[in-house]
A and B are shown apart, each in its own frame.
Chain A
């Protein structure tokens, strides 16, 4: 493919960002938690200087896309990272300018303009990273200064931010919810890993089991999560009422028990499928030569088949983990707690910042789990990055 003379993606992205920056409300200010916030445009929020600086930074990224070369791309990347680092400072500036001693309860909300600029600049970063090449690790390293800047601003200058105030109000609960969420996901993934590998091994041994097994698991996967949680409620409540030792360990119709069962049910299909495929797709020639070298059956399995199958199995763990992080949020509806609790509590009270407090960490957890497990399976791939 001939090299494109101009990068047309960057100008398109920047155009969208500028429209939001100049046209939409950057932040909103509410007198207290109950009243809806009043939108404030960029000019009023941070003044002429800030608005102009932001506009120029974004324009320069677009301009660097004309007749691009690696050097220009690197400069554009630097400007993009700097912009992302400056965004929390923009919020801090807006907070300082809006600070009013008459309204100590005032809360700063993040407006649509800010979200769009943030999102588009992240997209620009992804685009530039693809153009520049470089490893996955480099991409994450670039996120580090951005996160550092956000963390600094959040801990020092963003006191009136509504999101932060919601967090301050329930920081203990928040930490507990995150840990609980992780524990639920960890237990579900761990259980389904054990069960899944056992099931996959059994399916390889008894082909008759294969059809029935995949049939049942596919069937389970089709049932919507809310419905499955609901369907588990009645039988578990009955079991808890009639079997003493079950209720003694905390099994109830609502709570962690139905959540865990449903999560394991959903997790089994990707786990079994990937393990089964991974074990089956090992080159038979490799197995033959291992046998020829005098390895026993057990040795062949542990030293040859399993290591070769591991990357694809890990892929199953990755899919399962990401899926479970999302589904565990739904489990909050049946009283399982976790971060989903904040989401549904916030939706119930129409407190949008509380919703964000639940949804953003879930999003972050899913992205981090995806990146970590993806990198791990890439590394374990024979001949992969060492």
Chain B
């Protein structure tokens, strides 16, 4: 394991992060060097003149995709976690049944339908995608935060209160750390779904990694489809394996 004198800790860290790093490296290589693979795509798509998607370069597409997902997911996490905290406090407890119901019922809404329903209200473009992703991404986060906070043994909370902690201290030092794994799992679900749904945003006028796929389907160009699909797939795998790593690290502690 440690033959070359590399500090053991660093070596282990690299070893543990191997999977996310591999996906990330593949994603970056593909982003920058898609044009180098022209030969391969030429072999797959023999009929078309153009085999590398060139209406926007892949760095821009990846950047836009990431931006939309990140903004939506950050806002969803912020709003979702605070909403779940608010309805589990004494002042907001009245709203708990309704919020819990909405969060569990909303899970049955298909993301495509949510996206499609957002367009008549919000119009075409990037903003409606962010709003739709934000709304849809809220649900798993709210549900998991609620489950995490409510799953804490009440005797632990009483003990913390008995030790003289204030309500805020109990929340920050006891409740949130204990609920963290479940909350992170909710954020993971939310982000994964958002990456997939954002790709569908290409059909409602947002330009991102879904673009090459849609354009390829419309023009019957398999090479475009493959390029878009590979990029989105690798992005999803990178993000998901990172979350998995985070979850494992937390579990080990």
Interface set of A (CB-CB < 8 Å, partner B): 1, 4, 7-9, 12, 112, 115, 123, 126-127, 130-131, 219, 222-231, 233-234, 237, 253-254, 322, 325-327, 329-330, 333-335, 340, 343-344, 346-348, 350, 352, 355-356, 358-360, 362-363, 366-367, 370
Task: Give the CA-CA distance A367 to B240 in the complex, in Å.
Answer: 28
Contact flags B106-124 to A (C-beta < 8 A → 1, else 0): 0011111100110111001
- Looking at the assembled complex, report how far the CB atom of A147 sits from the nearest CB atom of chain B, in whole angstroms: 17
**CB nearest to A323 among chain B residues:** B110
**Chain A residues with CB under 8 A of B203:** 333, 344, 347-348
**CB nearest to A331 among chain B residues:** B112
- Looking at the assembled complex, report how far the CB atom of A253 sits from the nearest CB atom of chain B, in whole angstroms: 8
Known: A9-B94, A234-B226. A226 touches B120 (CB 8 A): no
B210 on interface, CB distance cutoff 8 Å:
yes
**Chain B residues with CB under 8 A of A363:** 109-110, 113, 117
Known: A112-B121, A370-B108. A359 touches B225 (CB 8 A): no
> Does the CB pair B225–A224 fall under 8 Å?
no
Having A226-B228, A231-B233, one finds 5 other A-B pairs with CB under 8 Å, namely A9-B95, A224-B232, A228-B233, A326-B109, A326-B111
> Does the CB pair A224–B236 fall under 8 Å?
yes
Q: Which of A253, A333, A360 has the most CB of B within 10 A?
A: A333
Task: Give the CA-CA distance A225 to B236 in the complex, in Å.
Answer: 11
> Does the CB pair A333–B217 fall under 8 Å?
yes
Q: What are 5 sample pairs from A and B whose C-beta atoms fall under 8 A apart?
A: A127-B97, A229-B229, A329-B113, A330-B112, A363-B109
- Looking at the assembled complex, report how far the CB atom of B230 sits from the nearest CB atom of chain A, in whole angstroms: 8
**Chain A residues with CB under 8 A of B214:** 333
Q: Which of B27-35, B161-169, B194-202 lies at the interface? A: B194-202
> Does the CB pair B116–A227 fall under 8 Å?
no
- Looking at the assembled complex, report how far the CB atom of A366 sits from the nearest CB atom of chain B, in whole angstroms: 5
- Looking at the assembled complex, report how far the CB atom of B69 sits from the nearest CB atom of chain A, in whole angstroms: 11
Interface set of B (CB-CB < 8 Å, partner A): 44, 93-95, 97-98, 101-102, 105, 108-113, 116-117, 119-121, 124, 192, 195-196, 199-200, 203-204, 210, 213-214, 216-217, 222, 225-226, 228-230, 232-233, 236-237, 240
Task: Give the CA-CA distance A7 to B97 in the complex, in Å.
Answer: 12
Task: Give the CA-CA distance A225 to B101 in the complex, in Å.
Answer: 27
- Looking at the assembled complex, report how far the CB atom of B29 sits from the nearest CB atom of chain A, in whole angstroms: 18
Known: A223-B237, A355-B116. A230 touches B94 (CB 8 A): no
Known: A224-B232, A231-B226, A237-B222. A123 touches B102 (CB 8 A): yes
Task: Give the CA-CA distance A334 to B222 in the complex, in Å.
Answer: 12
Q: Which of A223, A229, A360 has the most CB of B within 10 A?
A: A223
**Chain B residues with CB under 8 A of A350:** 124
> Does the CB pair A4–B236 fall under 8 Å?
no
> Does the CB pair A356–B117 fall under 8 Å?
yes
**CB nearest to B197 among chain A residues:** A224
**Chain A residues with CB under 8 A of B226:** 230-231, 234
> Does the CB pair B119–A347 fall under 8 Å?
yes
> Does the CB pair A7–B94 fall under 8 Å?
yes
**CB nearest to B223 among chain A residues:** A234
Task: Give the CA-CA distance A330 to B217 in the complex, in Å.
Answer: 13
Say which residue of B110, B111, B120, B213 sits within 8 Å of A230 (CB atoms). Answer: B213
